[in-house]
Amino acid sequence: MVLPQTERVAERAEAIDRLDGAEALARMIEVQIGAVESLRAALAQIEAAARLMAETLRGEGRLVYAAAGSSGLMALADGAELPGTFGIAQDRIAIRMAGGVPVDGAMTGETEDDVAAARAVLSELRPGDLVIALSASGTTPYPLAIARGAHDRGARVVSIACNPGTPLLDAADVAICLATPPEALAGSTRMGAGTAQKAALNLISTRAGVLLGHVHDGMMVNLRAENAKLRGRARAIVARVAGVSEPEAAAALDAAGGAAKPACLVAMGAPPGAARRLLDRHDGHLAPAMAALRTTSQDA
């Protein structure tokens, strides 16, 4: 029987239980690095997935993450951060994890086979949604059933798996195969495969944030400033982008209702309403809005 890559024992490498502490840990690090390196071969597909995500969020669709087990936790880690990082409305993101999101450390394995629960997810999909389906093996029944049925509901599918030629990849509009090396602990895909999946999701969503205009000069200009740390970050962003002091940035943020992007334009002299109209005119991208404001100011 030929085992899939995610179940194989690494050849020509000493098993981690035969190594001393530092050597065992170094071996695990090597596998993790190899897992992340697997993303390089999938950059074109990752870019295509990011463009689908940005297109979905420009429209009225939702991002529906579908996964089980460790892959589900990676999906949760990515999707739950998007509102705070990029200001994506929470009702535009759905995390559909087999058995539900665990709240007490209990995550039973049999839920990944629950195709009936997957059908319930399909019933809530609507045209314009983007399903992001994950499975290290590429065969997990729960996300596979969702990916296979999504097109009938008018949704599109991005699939991420770590074994080539698997059903989950075959069901996708954009198929991302991360050819991760055998795990340091055979079959424990929470390790290398999980790291690669999380990295791929982070790349997709961050690149989508760039395409949506939520990143300017490497800063998260559409962040949701919901705590003291993030309010301080928003002030620093506005001060740096607009070239003003932090007190001036704070005043601009107050005038803009706490939103950093329009606050940058307010700090440069635009009234709050005009700042928002400028952003709308330039599809939410701050750089061309700033350029237009400067031109208008020079012509005045």
Q: Which residues are catalytic?
A: 81, 112
* Beta strand segments in the chain, E: 63-67, 93-97, 130-134, 156-161, 174-177, 215-216, 219-220
CA-to-CA distance for 1 and 45, rounded, in angstroms? 31
Angle at CA of residue 69, ends 67 and 74, nearest 5°: 65
Alpha-carbon distances, residue 25 vs 18, 29, 188, 283 (angstroms)? 12, 6, 15, 47
Helix (H) or strand (E) holding 173: none
Q: For residue 156, which phi and psi values (nearest 5 degrees)?
A: -105, 165
The DSSP result for 91-129, as a single string, is GGEEEEETT---SSS---GGGGG-HHHHHHHHHH--TT-
DSSP lists the bridge partners of residue 66 as 96, 133
Q: Is 269 helix (H, G, I), strand (E, B) or coil?
A: coil
Secondary-structure percent of the chain, ordered helix, strand, coil, rounded to 5: 55, 10, 35
Q: Which residues contact 20 (CB under 8 A, 6 or more apart)?
A: none
Among all chains, which residue has been given the structure tokens 């045209």? 127
Rg for the chain, CA atoms, rounded:
22
Q: Quick one: DSSP state of residue 205?
A: H
Query: How do 130-134 and 156-161 pair as beta strands?
Result: parallel
Q: Alpha carbon 183 to chain centroid distance?
A: 24
Which residue(s) pair with 223 in the sheet?
A: none
